[in-house]
Structure 1
Amino acid sequence: MAGIKKKLVEIDIIADTVCPWCFVGKRNLDKALVEGNDRYEFELRWHPFQIDPEVPKEGIYKKEFYDTKMGADVAEVFQTRMADIFSNHDMTYKIEGLTGNTIESHRLIYFAGLQDHDKQHDLVDEICLGYFTDGRFIGDRDYLLKCAEKIEIEGAAEFLDDPNNGLTEVKEELKKYSEVKGIPYFVINGKEEFAGAQPTEVFLAAFEAATK
């Protein structure tokens, strides 16, 4: 309604770009952002987490990775469940392709946040969408740069060219958030905190509680 000032909602998201639950959680959050747009002004910030920092940068096949981490039977059940959940979000979950170390994606996301947090949010979506639904490799520099170009992140290639750019900042945040109890992890206005790919209603309730 005209004349009603929107309440500020600051959202900090701790996540890894190869975590399917993180992507699902983001999509649920996006629905809440749309539903709450008439009441709230949102500021979003993404922070890095690494599920497995020891995964090689050159990559490993996703199926091999999950089979090793979970055991083949558990991994198969997990993949089936994720396929169903992605389908409910009108997406196709693919196990094909490589997974790998996510540090480069986190450096790029950090860089995007220096320019614009809305672009940072969109960049996360673009990176994850290709990784989970098209089998794109998270460690492929060209792929990351294509994502940055689509979101209109300026200077991304030059930034990634120097492997030290943003590395200290990302590592500091990785250390800061290493003890969170599960990812994705959401902090709303520094008051409401919760983990997991929660449904849209949980976000809306958190927005209301955090702005009282």
Structure 2
Amino acid sequence: MTPEQLQYGVNKMQWYCEKFGGESRVMPMISRLSSVFESIGLPTYSLEGNTGPTLDGHRLAHFMKEEYSQSHQDVFMDTIMIDYFCNSKAPCDETALLAACEKSFEANTSANAEEQKANLARAEEVLRDKSKYRDEVLAQVRDVQGRISGVPHFIIRNEDTKKKVEFSGAQPVETFLDAFEELGGEGLELQ
């Protein structure tokens, strides 16, 4: 990728057509995902905008969980997923990534304005320092490489029994409920 593509990404529709074998294969996918998004109350699914590198987003997600909480990471991930799939924002858009951090801080803390500003400054430091959390994220990638072919990809693990269930893509609520039931309900961790 060129430096410009690394910063702004590449046209999402064009990239999906190249990846999945043309517009005739992508259009039914758009229709199906639009229906799924609508059925669960999400904004309209869109292939407008750009796609691009996700390493910075993964580094920030790791930062949110490590330095704050799982809930911080959840709000951050929900925000960047909606931004990408519905709001035409590239996963390498630094403004969108920092806005997702800010939304997470607002949703998860009762910190005053100065503390919120300090939290956001910490996130900006992580974004600027490309080495921060890089090794940890790349280790996670190596751990799942070859098993995951699409996003979102869910790994639900029961830490007590060490059993896990994995699945990819938009799924109905029943898929999650079945996985929780299969794993026993206690000691579960969603990754």
Q: TM-score range by the shorter chain?
A: 0.7 to 0.9
Q: Please name the residue that 1:98 is paired with.
A: 50
Q: Which residue of the partner structure matches residue 65 of structure 2?
A: 113
How much has 1:181 moved relative to structure 2? 5.1
In 2, distance between residues paired with 1:119 and 1:74?
36
The residue correspondences of 1:23-42 to structure 2 (distance < 5 A) are none
Write the mapping of 1:16-95 to structure 2, written as runs, cut at 5 A.
56-58=5-7, 59-70=9-20, 71-90=22-41, 91-95=43-47
Matches within 5 A, 1:1-212: 56-58=5-7, 59-70=9-20, 71-90=22-41, 91-114=43-66, 115-152=68-105, 154=119, 155-180=122-147, 182-183=149-150, 184-189=153-158, 190-196=162-168, 197-211=170-184
Q: Match of 2:97, SS?
A: helix
More strand by share: 1
Task: Give ranges in structure 2 of 5+ residues lacking alignment.
Answer: 106-115, 186-191
Q: Report the alpha carbon displacement of residue 201 of structure 1 after superposing the two structures with TM.
A: 2.5
Counterpart code for 2:154: Y
Task: Normalising by structure 2, report the TM-score.
Answer: 0.75
CA RMSD, 1 decimal: 1.9
- Structure 1 residue 104 displacement after superposition: 0.9
Instruction: Tell me how many residue pairs correspond in the alignment.
Output: 157
Deviation at 1:123, TM superposition (A): 0.9
- Aligned amino acid, residue 138 of structure 1: P
Report the AA paired with residue 12 of structure 2.
K
What is the aligned-residue identity percentage?
Answer: 29
Q: 1:124 to 1:181 in 2, by over 3 A?
A: closer
Seen in structure 2, the aligned counterparts of structure 1 residues 80 and 204 have a Cα distance that, compared at 3 Å, is: closer
Q: Would you say the 8 A contact 1:182–1:195 is kept in 2?
A: no
Output the CA distance in 2 between the equivalents of 1:69 and 1:202: 26
Q: What TM-score do you get using the length of structure 1 for normalisation?
A: 0.68
SS in 1 for 2:6: coil
Structure of higher RCO (CA pairs closer than 8 Å, 6+ residues apart): 1
For residues 185 and 160 of structure 1, do their structure 2 counterparts lie closer, same or farther at Cα, with a shift above 3 Å needed?
Answer: same
Which structure shows the bigger proportion of residues in helix conformation? Answer: 2
Distance 1:75 1:201, change over 3 A: closer
Per-residue CA deviation, residues 11-38 of structure 1 (Å, 9 max, x unaligned), is xxxxxxxxxxxxxxxxxxxxxxxxxxxx
1:176–1:104 distance in 2 versus 1, CA, 3 Å: same
Kindly indicate whether the alpha-carbon contact (under 8 Å) linking 1:67 and 1:75 is maintained by their aligned counterparts in 2.
yes
Q: Distance in 2 between matches of 1:180 and 1:171?
A: 15
Contact 2:75 2:103 in 1 (8 A): no
State the Cα distance separating 1:208 from its structure 2 match: 3.1
